[in-house]
Amino acid sequence: MPNGTWILGDLFTKDYGHRGNIQKLWEQRWKFPCTKGVYPFHDGKYEDFEPIFKHLIANNINDPYDDAYTNAILPTAQRLAKEAKATESTDKEVAKSLYLRANAVFRLARFPYIGTELKKKVFEQQKATYMQGAQLWDIPITEVIIPHKHASNGDAQNIPIYLRKPRGTGPFPVILLITGLDGHRPDNTERTTEHLARGWATVICDIPGTTVDCPANRLDPLSPDRLFTSILEWIREEATELDEKRVIAWGLSAGGYYSIRLAHTHRDALIGSVGHGAGTHHYLSREWLEQVSKHEYPFGLEEAYRQKYGYASFEEVMDKCQDGFSLVSGKGEGVAVVGMGMTSCRLLLVNGVLDGCMPVEDSLLLAEYGSPKEMRFMRQRLHMGYPEANGVVYPWMEGVMGG
């Protein structure tokens, strides 16, 4: 912040102590969430993960970008996938559970960022396993390859998305689910199921710079505009199945940046947008980035940010990234959509007040520009504002969707 004062207060410079220490990460941060099957262990079982962490701790494997980390986790995922395949013909429900467990372990193996050749291979295995298991569901997920009709300046030509829609006759209201830095298309079963229960279809896309699947040029701050123009045009073309007049974007964590941008640049194509745990400006400042590795994120964000945004070093990220990508003061033409005073569709901003990944200031800042915003921040909660956050998001989306 310009005056050096953050809402985090003393927590801004507090070191949570688990960075570079897998034992502290497991015992202080992840063991309890693992027992509850929540981030990043959703759909997994404690019995799958506890032996993995014992092995990592015993062998002093602390770097998630070291192949030793991924190789310590991968056999469990592959075993569960094999067991799932073998069980399909005898017990469909058990097979479904095993596939989801395998998916959760694959996710941890390629966590926190798909930045090595091995992790890229693991992600391909995860997707294949997930889609195989999804075909056993009553309402499966399908992959659709959308032509990127507006590709330019280094964008690839195709956009892989996941689609899950209710049974029956459409067109169905649509949640455009925009994934984050470490969560990708196969990591959203619970959300798509919640959407089905409300009669909504889900279109899931990955964000620039995180997977090889997203065709948007990570170096170009304007590439998301082209990406979402192609996706929203495809939704419009699917008029018999998808209701182009009832589309809500929901951006998760790093994806929240894009849902906020989309709420402004494509406001006429949306009836609402949710920036959930979103960064907009301060999260890319040198002052924030110099401290972010101390906060709650499991492994630090330096290498992930460096690769996502395409810089040569983290020093370069701190020096240049805010100027290039801020939604408020970015210097690239048309990047600072909020700072330019553009109006938006209805926009809900949700986070934890004590978020150490994306500062809550990044949401509050938007109240100073353009259209009025709707906001809800969870006291004493960290990144994303869980566990209460979804209890705010879903009722809001229901109200916006209407009948």
Q: Is 10 considered catalytic here?
A: no
Helix/strand/coil for 205: strand
Q: Please, which contacts does 95-98 make with residues 24 or more away whose CB atoms are closer than 8 Å?
A: 95/133, 95/136, 96/133, 96/136, 96/137, 98/133
289 SS3 class: helix
Handedness of CA 46, 49, 52, 56 (dihedral sign): negative
Q: Which member of 18, 184, 295, 383 is catalytic?
A: 383
Query: Which residue among the candidates 43, 213, 355, 362 is catalytic per the annotation?
Result: 355
Q: Is 355 a catalytic residue?
A: yes
Pull the structure tokens for residue 316.
Answer: 């370069």
Q: What strands lie across the sheet with 374-378, from one edge to the other?
A: 142-147, 158-164, 201-205, 172-178, 242-252, 272-276, 347-352, 374-378
Compute the distance between CA of residue 13 and CA of residue 171 in angstroms, rounded to an integer: 50
How far apart are the C-alpha atoms of 276 and 269, rounded to whole Å? 20
Answer yes or no: are the C-beta atoms of 361 and 326 closer than 8 Å: no
Can you tell me the distance from the alpha carbon of 145 to that of 159, in angstroms, rounded to the nearest whole number? 6
**Gap between the Cα atoms of 302 and 309, Å rounded:** 11
Whether 253 sits among the annotated catalytic residues: the reply is yes
Of the residues 18, 148, 225, 253, only one is catalytic, namely 253
Residues with a known catalytic role: 253, 355, 383
